[in-house]
Amino acid sequence: MISIVLRTTIMFFLVMFALRVMGKKNLGEFQPSDFVSTMLISNLTSIVIEAPELPLLYSVVPILLIICYEIFMSVIAKKNEKLAKVAYGSPKIIISNGIINQSVMKTLRFTIDDLLMAMRSKDIFYLEEVFLAIVETNGSVSIYPDPSAKTNIDKADIPPFSIIVDGKTRYNNLGYINVTESKVEKILEKENVSPEDILLLMIDGNGQYNLSLKEIL
């Protein structure tokens, strides 16, 4: 029994640590400790169901222990902000005034596609429309749209598509916005950049583009 208690304790904190290291986007809508608990409890439950020769306590004790840890974690996080940061992390601003914070992106191991997907899910297609985008501790992205975007951005009928992402060209997207490769090359010439230097180039149906260069981190 003692070995079960110790094993559960070790596994709880190990999986918790692994999830914190793996990054927020793996969590979905859970907090790290919720996710660990849910995952471990579901596995522990199946152990005694699949192996009827094992005593029920082999699953019951670890599950109760995990519930205790889960409550301890939430109470400790409530009382101590530093520990809360260690356990759950803190929200991070990933886009501010339409500019992508690349160091945060690197820390959270977010890709451009993750960001664009989060924006699209909030009906936002232009990077300039985002005043603030915050990656929450549960891995979801909250977006506060720029209030002036409605008047400042001349939106095209066809929304912008990503043409260059992280130095790699996606010319197959050009077909959607009726733009040719030579037009893209002209933009690159005008901006005096090569595709390798570009983090994100988006072009809409009117040929308007948004260019974010890679930062040296």
Partner 1 sequence: MKNFYFSVILFLSILSGTFITNHYIQNNLNYYKDVFVSVVNTEKISETVIMSVSRAKETFFKQKNMLQLFVSKEHIKDIETDILLIENYLSEDQLMDCKEKSIEIISVINQIKEYMSKID
Site for partner 1 in 152-171 (CB under 8 A): none
For residue 4, state whether it binds partner 1 (rule: CB under 8 A).
yes
Name which position in 14, 22, 67, 213 contacts partner 1 (CB under 8 A). 67
Rounded distance between C-alpha atoms, residue 19 and residue 138, angstroms: 11
Q: What are phi and psi of 113, to 5 degrees?
A: -65, -35
Site for partner 1 in 47-66 (CB under 8 A): 52-57, 61, 64-65
- Within 8 A by CB and 6+ apart from 68, the residues are none
The binding track of 74-103 with respect to partner 1, each residue x by CB under 8 A or -, is -x----------------------------
Rounded distance between C-alpha atoms, residue 195 and residue 213, angstroms: 9
Rounded distance between C-alpha atoms, residue 185 and residue 206, angstroms: 16
Residues 72/122, Cβ–Cβ less than 8 Å = no
Query: Whole-number minimum distance, CB 84 to partner 1, in Å?
Result: 15
For residue 68, state whether it binds partner 1 (rule: CB under 8 A).
yes
Residues that bind partner 1 (CB under 8 A): 1-7, 10, 52-57, 61, 64-65, 67-68, 71-72, 75
